[in-house]
Structure 1
Amino acid sequence: MSATRLQIETFLDEDSSTFTHLVLDTSTGQCAVVDPVLGFDPASGRTDDSGARRIAHRIHELGAKLQWILETHAHADHLSAAPFLKRALGGKIGIGERIREVQKVFGELFGEGPGFARDGSQFDRLFADGDGFAIGSLPVRALHTPGHTPACLAYLIEDGEDSVAFVGDTLFMPDYGTARCDFPGGDASALYRSITRLLALPARTRLFMCHDYPPEGRALRWETTVAEQRRDNIHVRDGVDEATFVALRERRDAGLSTPRLMLPAIQVNMRAGRFPEPAPNGVSYLKLPIDALGRSRA
């Protein structure tokens, strides 16, 4: 894969500290967008598509054609802008096939009736582990990386030592560590095995993050390498075994609060970024399950 054939541009949503990646095959003009964000204010219920518009504008500037809108998982910290981009530019929305498990669990939590399909049909493509596809002429392989959620995927653009992977929330920058595993369907042991799989990729493989939460004094970063993670990751560097990681992860997770946008985000993202069907007055509503996730401790 020549450096001039693959072009990656990264956009930050400051409110959720989320990185959206624009992946362009310059030889064909075909592109993909990974993890697009729709702004949302839970206090007012207002959405904000300015970030998605900025990405759409950039695709127009490049003269590119949007082929794929790729979700690494059903995010709990932001709403997806996949439908906005699809309406504006076309393209197919893809996610891991185990989104069905997420839909089943959260469909029950939110009291969804039979009108909410739990078969993943809201998405255009459900990827199984190892599935191959292409962004233009760039070969991509879907890697199932469960642990944070059952449906997590990494998207690997393969070219030996010069491969690139978009890893979602599975890994963070080495000084922050790894994703939480306390959501329904999460599993710290599964996350350890998923990360081990990613870190078995060639050492120079570039890894693109979905988030960064830098310590004071460090600038935001969205790219690292397998070698850097194996050497420096505070949770899973070389020499950390599964039992040690699981104990650390579960201890950390026990003290974490629920993400600010989790309840609205999951309701929307399990529908491929769409809001529930409008009520007779034409307005869509999101539900707030009371004490369904357990009472807060005094």
Structure 2
Amino acid sequence: MTTDPTSAASAIPPGDPAREAAARQVAAWSGRPGAPVVRSFFDPATFTATHVVHDPATRQAAVVDSVLDYDPASGRTGHDSAAAVLAYLRAEGLEVAWQLETHVHADHLSAAPWLQGQVGGALGIGAEIVRVQAVFGKIFNAGTAFARDGSQFDRLFTDGDTFRLGQIDAIALHVPGHTPADMAFVIGDAAFIGDTLFMPDFGTARADFPGGDARTLYRSTRRLLSLPDATRLFLCHDYGGPERPDFAWETTVGAERTGNIHVHDGVDEDSFVAMRTARDATLDLPRLIMPSVQVNMRGGRLPEPESNGTRYIKIPLDTL
């Protein structure tokens, strides 16, 4: 599988030699042919799809974008969603190599640390997590005890980093715009793209969070759509469609290129930016943004207990 050099470079700010070099690496990359097995778990409370991807030859697996149950009314957490993933991993006899996060989610809490404690796997996220930590560390007044260097994670992926899942080659692509730190993980013929694209009838992710940018998001979508048409795309969320009652989280590059209502072939950058900016102005903040970002910027770990032994989520007033 290869990416188109021109399209890959279009997501890179001009004059950034390091990123341009990474774009050339991505363009030249040719993954070893492989079709990993993917099993997805949908959490209707947060509209989140967690994906377990594994190499059928070696049984080595990665968990992408896991969910920790959280009730905002009571402040209680739970592991029912993650336990379903765990049961599948054990039933299939999979060896977990990775717990991958496509970005710092604003709509659900990550269960990666809990799953890591059960079945292992290195916790990975994009290296630009440090930008998100810097911004939200201030918003939540996290204090000097909160490290803003990404050290809560085992691996910080940069654009063009390659790795393997068993015998299947994989590559990490930086696809910012929704947030500064969004990553897509291309594993064989499957790409796990987080919130950058939704199902064709729902369009694209919002770009109005701190550090988000609609123009950058457009370039990232075009980069993803430069992958071969048959590439399977696995999405982090689905909210249904106007004429589609069922939830869905798998599509293809070809289907997105021809049918995505926001970025199908022929939509230019300025038109997309105008549409995305106007649409984002009408959207409410995600219901779980306060607990989600506080926890996920810490690698999915809950805040440390205070002197009374209780953990607390902060709610900054009149800030976001």
Would the TM-score normalized by the shorter structure come out above 0.5? yes
2:164 is aligned, of 118, 134, 144, to 134
What amino acid maps onto 2:55 in structure 1? D
Structure 2 distance, partners of 1:252, 1:216, is: 16
Contact 2:67 2:108 in 1 (8 A): yes
2:298 is aligned, of 246, 266, 271, to 271
2:117 is aligned, of 76, 87, 101, to 87
1:237 is aligned, of 261, 264, 287, to 264
Distance 1:290 1:277, change over 3 A: same
Contact 2:199 2:238 in 1 (8 A): yes
Structure 2 distance, partners of 1:273, 1:254, is: 29
Structure 1 distance, partners of 2:66, 2:168, is: 20
Whether 1:169 and 2:198 are equivalent positions in the alignment is: no
Count of aligned residue pairs for this structure pair: 287
Structure 1 distance, partners of 2:241, 2:257, is: 20
CA distances 1:106-126 after superposition (whole Å, capped 9, x unpaired): 000001111000000000000
What amino acid maps onto 1:176 in structure 2? F
- 3-state SS, counterpart of residue 68 of structure 2: strand
Tell me by how many angstroms 1:215 deviates: 2.3
Whether 1:259 and 2:286 are equivalent positions in the alignment is: yes
Name the residue aligned to 2:182.
152
Runs of 4+ residues over 6 Å off in structure 1: none
Structure 2 distance, partners of 1:237, 1:181, is: 18
Tell me by how many angstroms 1:216 deviates: 4.8
RMSD: 0.9
Structure 1 distance, partners of 2:232, 2:60, is: 21
What amino acid maps onto 2:314 in structure 1? K
| Unpaired stretches in structure 2, ≥5 consecutive residues | 1-32
Name the residue aligned to 1:220.
247
What amino acid maps onto 2:181 in structure 1? A
Contact 2:68 2:81 in 1 (8 A): yes
Deviates more, 1:208-217 or 1:133-142: 208-217
CA distances 1:159-180 after superposition (whole Å, capped 9, x unpaired): xxxx210110000001100000
| Unpaired stretches in structure 1, ≥5 consecutive residues | 294-298
Name the residue aligned to 1:210.
236
TM alignment of 1:1-298, pairs within 5 A: 1=33, 3=35, 6-158=36-188, 163-218=189-244, 219-293=246-320
Deviates more, 1:90-99 or 1:130-139: 130-139
Distance 1:239 1:64, change over 3 A: same
CA distances 1:115-142 after superposition (whole Å, capped 9, x unpaired): 0000000000000000001111211100
Tell me by how many angstroms 1:48 deviates: 1.5
- 3-state SS, counterpart of residue 79 of structure 1: coil
Structure 2 distance, partners of 1:210, 1:82, is: 15
Structure 2 distance, partners of 1:149, 1:217, is: 29
Name the residue aligned to 2:23.
none
TM-score by length of 2: 0.88
Contact 2:193 2:233 in 1 (8 A): yes
Tell me by how many angstroms 1:203 deviates: 1.0
Tell me by how many angstroms 1:280 deviates: 1.5
Tell me by how many angstroms 1:217 deviates: 4.6
What amino acid maps onto 2:77 in structure 1? T
Name the residue aligned to 2:18.
none
CA distances 1:13-69 after superposition (whole Å, capped 9, x unpaired): 110010000001121121000000001011100012011011111111011111100
CA distances 1:251-289 after superposition (whole Å, capped 9, x unpaired): 000010010000110000000000111111211111000
